Chains A and B, each alone.
Chain A
């Protein structure tokens, strides 16, 4: 249908459009000028970061930790990337190695990415479509942890998963060096494909990158910084990439500091003292609760508190007594005093109670708490009477229950509290703290017969499926495996079908999909395979000299955009 307008209206419209365009161009130029001024003023210096321990391999396709994903933002890029901007802008996906975000063709199953020209790896080589194809093959060849969950929708991925060594992704990822394009073909439309391509596991690496876990040997990247050396027991040194020219301020902005040193092996107390004394600029670990009142009072300007899309929860093994009884699981949800748990995490400034799976302000979240004292959309208080009644009805009173927590202060505190609640409910409860190095895999493996445990989940990307589908789908439950992220071992075919429906719906109608996810969230909570505890916030304590702190909701503090000079 064509609309005919009067010439005067058309002229006015053109004028308005012109003014808008000019305004956008001017504001962009102004922002660029402002950034150039700041860069001239603050560029240089050495920024020192610290953490209790390193996060394992430096390989961006294998490492699956929030700690290193944060620093991969300034060292590696994918075809697309989450925007390096503060707040919820960080959820926006922007083109990175690709010139622009392509429109899907072939009924949403094909994407053609035009590779940006002039990008170089830190080893001086140009980025080509061949590197992109090799990088996607490498994800499977190094058996990345998300091959089966994020990238199993690419044509040819099934063969790659079956036989990684001969992986070609034939017909799945096709490069054309002459045209400068890479085509990705999917087996079915995927509403989350760009999110999956924007995480570090889909980083573009040189085609000659080793086809095994790089371990402590850094691989060249396209970011503003490169890893010069990595010793997990000592430090990780990042320096300016000598071949980097800012090709997208949204995806990979130039950094302020000349050098970033990440030290490992300090205790939390030592790091707090070092920040106060100006010896380090930031610590990865949350400040110990014992020091929070002091730093919150004396160094308030150096504390940054930001919301996280995450939650702490207690998975209950639905295949083991007494939690194979829905009444017991519901009783635990009724009995837990989330306010008390928030206190254990550091108080209401640092966490908020929750009795739902999706975090507040997250796509698909609708306030609808089923387990609270009064009918209320939000959690108000624990209902111990109701909980005790449910336990009576279940006939499981007196059974032995062991809570498995991580052997660190907060997790042990939460575990002890839950053990105390279970004792109050009439169980013979005990708590066991397991080393943080093994707890996460230990509680996943059904062979260990874990009844109830303490765990946390931080989103990989902003989609409801990243919580509900990942944590509770039937596909996420693999009995006897250390990698069975559905810790409760709960499989509900109806809810699985609803999740598939929501994911399909997201391709065409995001709002309808979110409504469906809210329904799924409630459906899971009715069955209570887990007990959500609280939503934590990020606490960053920085040195007095550190400036321009920006928090990105996707990847947390944007390290490269802070200055120390």
Chain B
């Protein structure tokens, strides 16, 4: 008969000689070996840095105010002074077309219908799109974590009430809900006591987008917490009489934090698309502010003559969301290997 303590003792040195790397370190090792992840991260960082440099670009490179109409301006292109808004000279001379890409410092990507520098607006617009998406992601994940963990951990009437609220939110098609909220809030703004949020504030799209995706994060979190509640280490902790709040903080939260982190890039990508859609429909970011969605809207009327106005923000959205999705997938594989598809 083998003594069990002896067996443990025999194997113990082998384990202790190779200290555990922990989930974060292990994830970092996996991520840094993945070229696709590194490329996606590089693209995303580059986009962030570019958008942060928007004021510098507008001031020192393009030399224009991207928020002011510039319909009568003239610029130097190839040594010639040309109008930013060019009247047609062919046939009946109908229509006025903004200047196309100059591939020079001024009007690199051309002008929009207001004679504004598209490249400068693209950078400023990106700042707003990323800011809204990131802020909405934080709101969404905080609310979802609060609701999902509470519902899963406490169960009973707490779970019933919170789950029904999530069901109600889930019952609405997500874009219909976003559009409805936007139309109401953007026409009136929000006034709650002394707090007043104007209809042109960026807080409105942040708040709306942050709310609408809560059920989509809270539901899986609740499921995970329910399964964690039945795990041996939680049952053991309960058996030892450890208080619920300690179990929540020390056993549940660390185990769902990886899941929340996996959600960050995915939700951010989704939020960028939602923000762009709402802004494209004139119910997101309001003029004079810009976002990639509003720039696409501006470019919609120039698809035939100046497609770059709509294409440039479109490409920016695709690159950003693609990089975020790749990052999200990689994070999930690294932090939550059980969900990895074989």
Assess whether B67 is interfacial by the CB under 8 Å rule. yes
Q: How far is the CA of A289 from the CA of B305 in the complex (A)?
A: 10
Q: How far is the CA of A344 from the CA of B200 in the complex (A)?
A: 24
Enumerate chain B residues within 8 angstroms of A415, measured Cβ to Cβ. 287
* Chain B 64-97: CB-based contact to A (< 8 A → 1; otherwise 0): 0001110110000000000001011011111111
Closest to B94 in A: A296
- Name A420's contact: one of B69, B198, B286 (CB within 8 Å): B69
Assess whether A549 is interfacial by the CB under 8 Å rule. no
A431 touches B69 (CB 8 A): no
Q: How far in angstroms is the closest Cβ of chain B from A337?
A: 6
A340 touches B71 (CB 8 A): yes
Q: How far in angstroms is the closest Cβ of chain B from A273?
A: 11
* Chain B 184-204: CB-based contact to A (< 8 A → 1; otherwise 0): 001100000000001110000
B94 touches A350 (CB 8 A): yes
Number of interface residues of A (CB under 8 A): 45
B114 touches A413 (CB 8 A): yes
Q: How far is the CA of A300 from the CA of B90 in the complex (A)?
A: 10
Enumerate chain B residues within 8 angstroms of A419, measured Cβ to Cβ. 287-288
Q: How far in angstroms is the closest Cβ of chain A from B113?
A: 5
- Name A347's contact: one of B87, B113, B288 (CB within 8 Å): B87
Enumerate chain B residues within 8 angstroms of A430, measured Cβ to Cβ. 200, 286-288
Q: How far in angstroms is the closest Cβ of chain A from B185?
A: 12
Closest to A343 in B: B96
Assess whether A294 is interfacial by the CB under 8 Å rule. yes
Enumerate chain A residues within 8 angstroms of B87, measured Cβ to Cβ. 343, 347-348
Q: How far in angstroms is the closest Cβ of chain A from B198?
A: 8
A346 touches B71 (CB 8 A): no
Number of interface residues of B (CB under 8 A): 33
In the complex, chain B residues 270-316 whose Cβ is within 8 Å of any chain A Cβ = 282, 286-288, 300-305
* Chain B 207-225: CB-based contact to A (< 8 A → 1; otherwise 0): 0000000000000000000
**Residues of B contacting A: mostly:** loop
Enumerate chain A residues within 8 angstroms of B287, measured Cβ to Cβ. 415-416, 419, 430-432
In the complex, chain A residues 89-127 whose Cβ is within 8 Å of any chain B Cβ = none
Q: How far is the CA of A419 from the CA of B305 in the complex (A)?
A: 25
Closest to A350 in B: B94
Q: How far is the CA of A290 from the CA of B95 in the complex (A)?
A: 7
Enumerate chain A residues within 8 angstroms of B199, measured Cβ to Cβ. 402, 432
Q: How far is the CA of A430 from the CA of B202 in the complex (A)?
A: 13
Q: How far is the CA of A402 from the CA of B201 in the complex (A)?
A: 13
Q: How far is the CA of A337 from the CA of B69 in the complex (A)?
A: 11
Q: How far in angstroms is the closest Cβ of chain B from A206?
A: 43
B94 touches A417 (CB 8 A): no
Q: How far is the CA of A295 from the CA of B200 in the complex (A)?
A: 38
Assess whether A433 is interfacial by the CB under 8 Å rule. yes
Closest to A303 in B: B92
B94 touches A347 (CB 8 A): yes
B200 touches A346 (CB 8 A): no
A344 touches B71 (CB 8 A): yes
B301 touches A409 (CB 8 A): yes
B72 touches A339 (CB 8 A): yes
A293 touches B71 (CB 8 A): no
Q: How far in angstroms is the closest Cβ of chain A from B278?
A: 13
Enumerate chain B residues within 8 angstroms of A348, measured Cβ to Cβ. 87
B96 touches A289 (CB 8 A): yes
Q: How far is the CA of A421 from the CA of B68 in the complex (A)?
A: 8
Known contacts: A289-B301, A290-B305. The answer to whether A417 contacts B114 by CB under 8 A is yes
Q: How far is the CA of A420 from the CA of B200 in the complex (A)?
A: 15
B88 touches A297 (CB 8 A): yes
- Name B288's contact: one of A297, A412, A423 (CB within 8 Å): A423
A298 touches B88 (CB 8 A): no
Enumerate chain B residues within 8 angstroms of A402, measured Cβ to Cβ. 199-200
Enumerate chain A residues within 8 angstroms of B301, measured Cβ to Cβ. 288-290, 409
A290 touches B69 (CB 8 A): no
Assess whether A158 is interfacial by the CB under 8 Å rule. no
Q: How far in angstroms is the closest Cβ of chain B from A46?
A: 29
Enumerate chain B residues within 8 angstroms of A80, measured Cβ to Cβ. none
- Name A293's contact: one of B88, B186, B286, B288 (CB within 8 Å): B88
Enumerate chain A residues within 8 angstroms of B91, measured Cβ to Cβ. 293, 296-298, 300
Enumerate chain B residues within 8 angstroms of A305, measured Cβ to Cβ. 92
Known contacts: A292-B88, A419-B288. The answer to whether A303 contacts B72 by CB under 8 A is no
Q: How far is the CA of A292 from the CA of B97 in the complex (A)?
A: 9
Q: How far is the CA of A432 from the CA of B301 in the complex (A)?
A: 18
Assess whether A424 is interfacial by the CB under 8 Å rule. yes
Enumerate chain B residues within 8 angstroms of A303, measured Cβ to Cβ. 92, 94
Enumerate chain B residues within 8 angstroms of A407, measured Cβ to Cβ. 282
Closest to A418 in B: B69
B92 touches A420 (CB 8 A): no
- Name A349's contact: one of B68, B93, B200, B302 (CB within 8 Å): B93
13 of the cross-chain contacts (CB-CB < 8 Å) are A293-B90, A293-B95, A296-B94, A339-B72, A340-B85, A347-B95, A349-B93, A413-B114, A419-B287, A423-B288, A429-B288, A430-B287, A432-B287
